[in-house]
Amino acid sequence: MAVMPVYDTIVIPGATVYLRTQDYVKGTGRQPVTGERVTFVVEREETERASLTNESFYPIGSSGTITEVNGGGYIALRIQNRVNIDEVTVLQGGSISLTVTRRPDVDDLDVEEAEKRVRSMRDAILAFCEKYQWGPMIRLQAQHWNTMWEIAGALSPFLYAEDSEKYALLAEDTLQARFDMAERMLRENLELARVNTEAQTAQQEDYQKLYREDAIKKQMSYLQKELDGMHPENVTDVRRLELKLEEAGMNETALKEGRRVLNRLKSEGGQGPEAGMLMDYLELLTSLPWQKTEGERIALGDARAVLDRDHAGLEKVKKRILQQIAVMTLRGRQSGSILCFVGAPGTGKTSIGQSIASALGRKYVRVSLGGVRDEADIRGHRRTYIGSMPGGIMDGIHKSGVSNPVMVLDEIDKLSASYAGDPASALLEVLDPEQNSNFTDHYLNVPFDLSDVFFICTANTLDTIPEPLLNRIDVIQFQGYTPLEKMEIARDHLLPKAMEAAGLEKKDLEVEEKALEKVIGEYTREAGVRGLKKRMDMICRAAAVQLVEEPGKAVRVTEENIRDFMDMHPVRQNRVPEKTKPGIVTGLAWTPVGGEILYIQTLLTKGEGHLTVTGRLGDVMKESAQIAVSLVKAFFPEQAADLKKSDMHIHVPDGATPKDGPSAGITLTTALSSLVTGVAVPPDVAMTGEVSLQGDMRAIGGLPEKLMAAQRAGVKTVFIPTENREDLKDVAQEVRDAMKIIPVSSVEEVLSYLGMQVYTLTQAG
């Protein structure tokens, strides 16, 4: 009798099993003969024939008969009984000898019920095959299935089930339980196959759809291009925008929004009420520089050269800018700090921004924020507004045509908040490197990456910059220029540029240095060089006229004839007077347009000890006046008695300009002291310093600007607080050389120096 080891095969009675002839030969060591009886032993795990041992098998097997030996290499075996394997011996060479006894089934099967269930199973399988066009062979066989055993046997090679599960069918003694198990296994597998097939089909359908869509799109765009090429005059605006939209290289969100608007435009048609607005939007969206950058990394030396080429002086500023560029180069992106240039008008803040751009090889764009009150000026109006527009930032980006320009935000000190939102907080978002890669303009309504923009802010004063903004920026002071620096700027920069603009060549015009000095000294009065630039233009225009009238005759501008070139009178200079009376003292002030000198005038009249202050002084300055009065009473107790019978008037001329700040304290005190003692203070002595009620001098701001103003006015001696001594480092040598600068730490020092006898406060105390 043949013994056939099997693994993972269902060999229950009633089943027909199909085996490959060669497997049968290998397993049994015999050729198959129809009608021969075969005993099946079930392996516990899949094992090579040569490695089989006595323990390789489950204790229950089955026996059957070969019913068909097929010429195509298959044999069919019909299983009849189950057997107990009483003894098994695997011989050398792999042949197996067995002692078996028949193992009977417990027949408790409900036949009628079983037939129903078999029919339903068969139908389910057939329907499945039908639906998924699956297994034509199985469909053929299925016609003949009459028992669950046949079905399980036939499907055995395809069933997903543990081999132990398959063996469990064989080991089950009662037929009803075996039937239930087999049915369950088949149903599960049927379900599994269905899910698998459906998933596969769905996936295939998806892919197919995708391929199809892509193919159609490609074909359409190809055909459309062909058509456009044949009739370029017929390419509609909508079509043009569509092309631009796909080619602009914008981010996903923007592209989506763009397509959405485009679809609306298409459905609305070119004549719809909103068409214009939608088109404007698309024009802007598609022409933004989504991925255009310009400029390479550059050597610091080259950057330095460019900065020097365009601007004289400004050493500290240039140094700080080079640091910024160095940090940027190392990081490969923007530095985290935002530069803010602060200083008087015409000190070169904006124009050095231009220089930075050319040093970096980048585009330059300026966005003016002066007078901006509305958040929308910065981030745009929502598109629902009629005439809505993008804000200044995106407008600037659009104008620059690149996504990494040097953008100068001019006059951030002139922002103001209004009912329409706070522009400063919008600006903060623009400047914050953490947020600005996703900056969303209200009009555009899609994010734009600003993180490559090199932002520079400018301002005249720090006082009016909103606090949160102030915290974010890195302030660089532009102090204004000394006469010598102005000279250099006029000679090397402003004049050559003005000549070029007027079409003059070098040989056509010569301006003597003395003449330039006179222009600086008499025709301008400013911290920066804006006026000076205008005067240079003025000279060149006049020279151009002369040159046209008398061609070939070079024009010479000298100290003597400069007046002929100026179509204006010399500017009234704020120079200190020759003489002065007691009670008048020269002070130094800082203003957003540079340093200034001012005179504090005081007067005593008959009265009852009242104090009057005029000249549009702010609260802080009024308080300084009160302190001055108290100090004077303490310093000069004898005179103080008379003060009860007088009114005191303090006036600071130039009432049109509001003035405030504590730094006039020393000047106020000195003026009143001079008044009550009758000791006149020389007009070329100036001073600045906050004063405490103890008579101490406290530090003040803006020293370089103030000293420059003093120099312009011809001041010879200046008292400054000792605490400000360090600031002298920032003051040009030329300025320091022009006057005697005396650091003092108390009011008494100043008064004694000026020859007033002081009843010292320590004595008084």
Name every residue whose Cβ is closer than 8 Å to that of residue 738 and which is 6 or more positions away in sequence.
711
Residue nearest to ligand ADP (CB): 348
Contacts 24+ apart (CB under 8 A), 46-53: 46/7, 46/8, 47/7, 49/5, 49/94, 50/94, 52/5, 52/90, 52/94, 52/96, 53/90
SS3 label, residue 568:
coil
Number of H helices and E strands in the chain, helices first, is 28, 24
Cβ of residue 712: shortest distance to ligand ADP, in angstroms? 17
Min CB(533)–ligand ADP separation in Å = 5
Nearer to ligand ADP, 323 or 368 (CB): 368
Rounded least distance, CB 496 to ligand ADP, Å: 10
Distance between CA atoms of 667 and 628, rounded to whole angstroms? 9
Q: Of 61, 313, 483, 704, which lies in the binding site for ligand ADP, with binding defined by CB under 6 A?
A: 313
Which range in 70-78, 271-279, 344-352, 725-733 contacts ligand ADP by CB under 6 A?
A: 344-352
DSSP class per residue in 704-721: HHHHHHHHHHT--EEEEE
Contact range with ligand ADP by CB under 6 A, out of 91-99, 153-161, 309-317, 624-632: 309-317
Residue placing its CB nearer to ligand ADP in the complex, 12 or 456: 456
Output the smallest distance, CB 530 to ligand ADP, in A: 5
The CA R_g of the chain, rounded to the nearest whole Å, is 50
Q: Footprint of ligand ADP on residues 223-252 (CB under 6 A)?
A: none
Restricting to residues 81-110, which ones interact with ligand ADP according to CB under 6 A? none
DSSP secondary structure of 61-130: EEEEEEEEE-TTSEEEEEEEEEEEEEEEEEPTTS-EEEEEEEE--B----HHHHHHHHHHHHHHHHHHHH
Which phi and psi angles does 114 have, rounded to 5°? -60, -40
Selected range binding ligand ADP among 119-127, 234-242, 348-356, 509-517, rule: CB under 6 A: 348-356
Binding of ligand ADP at residue 311 (CB under 6 A)?
Answer: yes
Query: Which two structure tokens, joined as six digits, stand for 183?
Result: 């049915």
Please, what is the minimum distance in Å from the beta carbon of residue 488 to ligand ADP?
Answer: 8
Q: Specify whether the CB–CB gap between 439 and 430 falls below 8 A.
A: yes
Q: Inter-axis angle of helices 300-310 and 349-360, to 10 degrees?
A: 140
Part of the chain binding ligand ADP (CB under 6 A), chosen from 56-64, 248-256, 343-351, 756-764: 343-351
> What minimum distance in Å lies between the beta carbon of 448 and ligand ADP?
27
Q: Residues of 259-270 as b/e, b for ≥16 C-beta within 10 angstroms? A: eebbeebeeeee
Quote the CA–CA distance of 251 and 451 in Å, as a whole number.
15
At residue 323, φ and ψ (nearest 5 deg) are: -60, -45
Would you say how long the chain is, in residues? 765
Contact region for ligand ADP (CB under 6 A) — 224-232, 287-295, 522-530, 730-738?
522-530
**DSSP of 622-640:** HHHHHHHHHHHHHH-HHHH
Residues 154-193 that bind ligand ADP (CB under 6 A): none
Cα–Cα distance, 745 to 11 (Å, whole number): 113
Residue 351 within binding range of ligand ADP, rule CB under 6 A: yes
- Residues 141, 209: Cα–Cα separation, whole Å: 36
Contacting range for ligand ADP; rule: CB under 6 A; set: 133-141, 201-209, 340-348, 726-734: 340-348
> Which region holds residue 616: left if phi is over 0, alpha if psi is between -120 and 50, else beta?
left
- Interface with ligand ADP in residues 412-471 (CB under 6 A): 458
**Are 710 and 728 contacting, i.e. CB atoms less than 8 angstroms apart?**
no
CB of 352 to ligand ADP, least distance (A): 7
Question: Please, which residue, 501 or 641, has the CB nearer to ligand ADP?
Answer: 501
Q: Closer CB to ligand ADP, residue 403 or residue 458?
A: 458
Q: Work out the end-to-end distance of the chain between its first and last CA atoms, rounded to an integer number of angstroms.
A: 135
User: Per CB under 6 A, which of residues 461..520 are in contact with ligand ADP?
Assistant: 489, 493
Q: Which of 39, 334, 347, 670 binds ligand ADP (CB under 6 A)?
A: 347
Nearest CA to 477 out of 666, 663, 314 is that of 314
CB nearer ligand ADP, residue 289 or residue 348: 348
Q: Is 669 in the site for ligand ADP (CB under 6 A)?
A: no
Q: In angstroms, what is the minimal distance from the CB of 347 to ligand ADP?
A: 4
CA of residue 117 relative to chain centroid, distance: 69
Q: Which of 154, 182, 314, 339 binds ligand ADP (CB under 6 A)?
A: 314
Nearer to ligand ADP, 491 or 651 (CB): 491
Among 349, 366, 486, 525, the residue binding ligand ADP under the rule CB under 6 A is 349
SS3 146: coil
Residue positions annotated with a catalytic role = 663, 706
Which one, of 146, 152, 2, 154, lies nearest residue 63 by Cα? 2
- The residue among 349 and 649 lying less far from ligand ADP, judged by its C-beta, is 349
CB of 237 to ligand ADP, least distance (A): 40
The smaller minimum CB distance to ligand ADP, of residues 528 and 721, is found at 528
Query: In 3D, which of 672, 663, 597 has the Cα closest to residue 640?
Result: 672
Site residues for ligand ADP, 629-658, by CB under 6 A, read none
For ligand ADP, which stretch binds (CB under 6 A), given 90-98, 206-214, 342-350, 420-428? 342-350
Name which of 147 and 351 has its Cβ closer to ligand ADP.
Answer: 351
Which residue, 156 or 458, is less far from ligand ADP as judged by CB?
Answer: 458
Three-state SS letters, 3-65:
EEEECCCCCCCCCEEEEEHHHHHHHHCCCCCCCCEEEEEEECCCCCHHHCCHHHECCEEEEEE
Q: Which of 265, 529, 539, 731 binds ligand ADP (CB under 6 A)?
A: 529
| Cβ proximity to ligand ADP, 489 vs 504, nearer residue | 489
463 secondary structure, DSSP code: T
Q: Least distance from C-beta 317 to ligand ADP, angstroms?
A: 9
- Of 31-39, 79-87, 311-319, 516-524, the window that binds ligand ADP (rule: CB under 6 A) is 311-319
Query: How many positions of this chain bind ligand ADP (CB under 6 A)?
Result: 18
CB-based burial, 106-141: b 16+ in 10 Å, e otherwise: eeebeeeebeeebeebbeebeebbeeeeebeebeeb
Exactly one of 533, 535, 649, 706 binds ligand ADP (CB under 6 A); that residue is 533
Query: Which residue ranges make up the site for ligand ADP (CB under 6 A)?
Result: 311-314, 345-351, 458, 489, 493, 528-530, 533
